[in-house]
Structure 1
Amino acid sequence: MAIKHLSFNLLILYSFIIHTNANASDCIYNIYVQTGNIPYAATSSNITIFLSDATKAEFPVVNLQNWGLMGSAHHYFRPGEVDLFSRKGPCLRAPICGITIVLDGFDSWYCDDIEITIVGFGKSCSQKHFVVKKWLDVNAGTAVIVQDECFIDNVPGSISFRSGY
């Protein structure tokens, strides 16, 4: 618990440092990724995540490991581990509500959870926890996972039309 608290404090400090060099339209993307605590869950492949909002705006996080805050000697995406990633980029138009996870490599990976926090100057903080609990496997043809939890009513000022009753 103390490590998670320390990581959170370092994340906040890192966000403020990055923000001092950011444009007013930039946001800080903080991403926690938990690999499943099961045999063979680890991967050394590249992982790319596309973040999306209800307006269908998208922000790509290409090769997530390049965003890593755990140090150059850290081995990312190991069983049972939570890894932290962060960087600045253009803000999405609405709160994040969807992700696409792509495994680009030669092996498989079991993704347990992904939590994303987005902060920006003069903008509301957006946080979303995705419970993934799925294998991505290049050899099995399942190297992409899409989790779309977006509804049109997530967009301020929009009217929601849902059917299915």
Structure 2
Amino acid sequence: MATPAQLLLSFFLLLSFSSIALSDDEDCVYSVYIRTGSIFKGGTDSIISLRLYDLYGEFIEIANLEAWGGLMGPGHNYFERGNLDIFSGRGPCLVAPVCAMNLTSDGSGSHHGWYCNYVEVTMTGVHTPCSQQQFTVEQWLALDTSPYELTAIRNYCPSAFGADRRDQKSSSTM
């Protein structure tokens, strides 16, 4: 018969193996770099969200970049004129590298207009090759300045397949 110490050790080993078996190795780490233009009044106090797509139309959605993974430290004022802001967080891995994005401002705050130069995204994970994509935006996200939109969409996917199916696929919100 097993001693209580052996039973306890067996229990912890079984618990450890089941935790490893249940852990989700599908998680990827996403790093996002966003450059705000140095144009006068180019910064914003609005909430900025980002949707990242792969070639197959699968996507992840980050509803609030600053809350999700702002790395600039306490008291930093994100999305201000000339800033390079860095964000990082975990999310489900996409099947293919990121090749399209939807960058959106909610238009809130006293300074809702925002000029974005670019968005650069890196995705990596266990058993997932590292991928990187830079999206040139060079656009106002504002309702009082051309193009009078709060969204910038960039699609660098090699075929129209991803663009046609973007809204039909399931999503994951982070």
Q: Same fold (TM over 0.5)?
A: yes
On the 8 A contact 2:57/2:161 being kept in 1, the answer is no
Identical aligned pairs, as a percentage? Answer: 36
Instruction: Name the counterpart of 1:63.
Output: 64
On the 8 A contact 1:104/1:138 being kept in 2, the answer is no
User: Of 106, 112, 134, which aligns to 2:139?
Assistant: 134
**Structure 1 residues not aligned, in runs of 5+:** 1-21, 156-165
1:51 maps to amino acid? L
On the 8 A contact 1:109/1:135 being kept in 2, the answer is yes
How far apart in 1 are the matches of 2:98 and 2:92? 13
SS at match of 2:95: coil
On the 8 A contact 1:34/1:80 being kept in 2, the answer is yes
Instruction: Name the counterpart of 1:8.
Output: none
How far apart in 2 are the matches of 1:74 and 1:154? 39
Distance 1:105 1:35, change over 3 A: same
Instruction: Name the counterpart of 1:54.
Output: 55
- Residues 16-62 of structure 1: per-residue CA shift (max 9 Å, x gap): xxxxxx73100000000000011000000000010001100011011
On the 8 A contact 2:117/2:136 being kept in 1, the answer is yes
SS at match of 2:60: strand
RMSD between superposed Cα atoms in Å: 1.9
Larger Rg: 2
Distance 1:122 1:153, change over 3 A: farther
2:85 counterpart of 1:78: no
Instruction: Name the counterpart of 2:94.
Output: 92
TM-fit CA distance, 1:147: 0.5
TM-fit CA distance, 1:153: 9.6
How far apart in 2 are the matches of 1:135 and 1:105? 12
**Structure 2 residues not aligned, in runs of 5+:** 1-22, 163-174
Q: How many residues align?
A: 134
Which aligned segments of 4 or more residues in structure 1 are displaced greater than 4 angstroms? none
How far apart in 1 are the matches of 2:50 and 2:113? 16
On the 8 A contact 2:107/2:142 being kept in 1, the answer is no
Instruction: Name the counterpart of 1:27.
Output: 28
On the 8 A contact 2:99/2:133 being kept in 1, the answer is yes
1:122 maps to amino acid? H
Instruction: Name the counterpart of 1:111.
Output: 116
Q: Which moved more, 1:126-135 or 1:140-149?
A: 140-149
2:125 counterpart of 1:123: no
